[in-house]
Structure 1
């Protein structure tokens, strides 16, 4: 689904190359590359980022960096397309708060070896806030583009569904790590289901989109 989404993002690029969404193919390619590299590090010792044997399969460094790039990119997107100046300010302050939490979290948990859970959760909550603001604006003032044709509408729904469902899973897994226990297989299945739903919405958005988002 990562490959299909990236392919459609490239195929449909002429329809949004002059908008603020023009870097979407890079984000989706980065996502695909990150997952591929993460799998290599986790399964093959020769790809380890850390020389110590104890941490040879730790891939949190690349995921923590990815989290920063992904969240900040979408904060930028939503801040641009949301028209209310107060909400724009809130998103900007939210981004600053997220970066502050990231800095503090890096002192609590080693950025290169441990998942930055506090940063991830706070960043996800801010992203949920952004998507809700945009969808509220879309349904209240949108008079030009239909739901079927607006790419950011589908992206917003995909992000909202995924992060609303996955943030509790992130917390549950963190608690299990602290307690040294293993989460139920249901947790993994819910995670995969959320990924499938969100990327299906991304794909639908690319398939149905038309030109229209202002640059």
Structure 2
């Protein structure tokens, strides 16, 4: 098991960042425990454990879901579940943080459309063996709309960008916006144009996006102040 963990962290080094961000989030929990982000440490640990399980499914017989050797390494189902949980979690956060009733209703409608997209995808894609990347694309666009609504409200309040640097929600939003503006299109390329994915080493682009997003999360946890949260 120790050797497996060593191999895991050697090959998936960026996953250590999930654990590091979780540790920082727990350490700084008092600065946001009474905000809509109070469940964030649970989400971070869920992310880390999902990646850990995904690795062991791919590389360890005892964790594999399928007896057929052709599919024994397939772990995509846990990531499809993770995607649904992740989007619902962030929709919930923006639903809580937004102040305008109209905007909050839009978040609800967007969440329903997103979940419908996943249901419809089940008729065209096998979630046991393939990412539901079309649904991921729709869900990401809806999340970006939520982010735009949040930014609109902050600008409407006359909030200046420089005054947001101690606001944890600003850093969470920044990381999410950059990641979800690009990541779903990378998945589209991975499945629809795998030669392009391999030729241009787009997996490295995905890793950079992950590092950026979780880096902004960690920076936010480190420098944020409770009074600045909004």
- TM normalised by structure 2 equals 0.86
Q: CA deviation at 1:140?
A: 3.2
**1:183 maps onto 2:198 in alignment:** yes
Following TM superposition, by how much is the alpha carbon of 1:110 offset from its aligned partner in structure 2, in angstroms? 1.6
Unmatched 5+ stretches in structure 1: none
Alpha-carbon distance change, 181 to 202 in structure 1, aligned in 2, over 3 angstroms = closer
What does residue 205 of structure 1 align with? 220
- Distance, in Å, in 1 between the alignment partners of 2:215 and 2:131 is 27
Task: Say whether 1:115 aligns with 2:131.
Answer: yes
Aligned 8 A contact 1:79 1:91 in 2 = yes
Structure 1 window deviating more from structure 2 (64-73 vs 162-171): it is: 162-171
What's the CA shift for 1:143?
5.0
Match of 2:136, SS? helix
Two-structure CA RMSD over aligned residues (Å): 1.9
Report if the CA contact (8 A) 1:79-1:92 is conserved. yes
Q: Distance in 2 between matches of 1:150 and 1:15?
A: 10
Determine helix, strand or coil for the equivalent of 1:86: helix
Alpha-carbon separation, structure 2, partners of 1:20 and 1:81: 7
* 1:35-50 equivalences in 2 (<5 Å): 35-50=51-66
Verify: 1:163 aligned to 2:180, yes or no.
yes
SS class of match (1:115): coil
Structure 2 segments unaligned to the other structure (5+ residues): 1-16
State how many pairs are aligned.
212
Report the Cα distance in structure 1 between the residues aligned to 2:27 and 2:200, rounded to whole angstroms: 36
Among 72, 87, 104, the residue aligned to 1:56: 72
Distance 2:125 2:159 in 1: 47
In 2: Cα distance, 1:142 partner to 1:199 partner: 28
Counterpart contact for 1:124–1:163, Cα < 8 Å: yes
Match of 1:16 among 32, 37, 42: 32
Superposed displacement of residue 185, structure 1: 4.1
Matched, 1:67 2:64: no
> What is the aligned counterpart of 2:114 among 76, 98, 101?
98
TM-score of the superposition, structure 1-length normalised?
0.91
The alignment partner of 2:165 has SS state of helix
Q: 1:136 Cα deviation (Å)?
A: 2.7
In structure 2, the residue matched to 1:86 is: 102
- Residue 133 of structure 1 deviates from its aligned partner by 1.7
Give yes or no for the alignment of 1:140 onto 2:173: no
Which whole-Å CA distance do the structure 1 matches of 2:85 and 2:97 have between them? 19
